[in-house]
Structure 1
């Protein structure tokens, strides 16, 4: 029987794709607004996005 592989598994690693896109975005923002501090996090640091979303009023937990 032929092997089946999900389409998402055959593309580029999304970590690299998103990091490159976010670096481009940061460069555009820097050109428009001047220098600023930022940290790109694509599954590379512990980030409590659920808690941050709740604190920002974007939803609730539970």
Structure 2
């Protein structure tokens, strides 16, 4: 998938939360509903939102390494 299509999907996730599953390495904050990147190199179960600081459970199974 090219970068332009990824960016369009990324922007759509703000309005259609079900599309978040199509984007690897992205999670939506459960409090402020903003998109954040998953830090692949850190193998942690929860990650803080960069916008509001809320801890969120992060599923590393959906992230492809490499």
Give me the TM-score of the superposition, normalised by structure 1: 0.33
> If you compute each CA radius of gyration, which structure gives the higher value, 1 or 2?
1
- With structure 2 as the length reference, what TM-score do the two structures score? 0.32
Higher helix share goes to which structure? 1
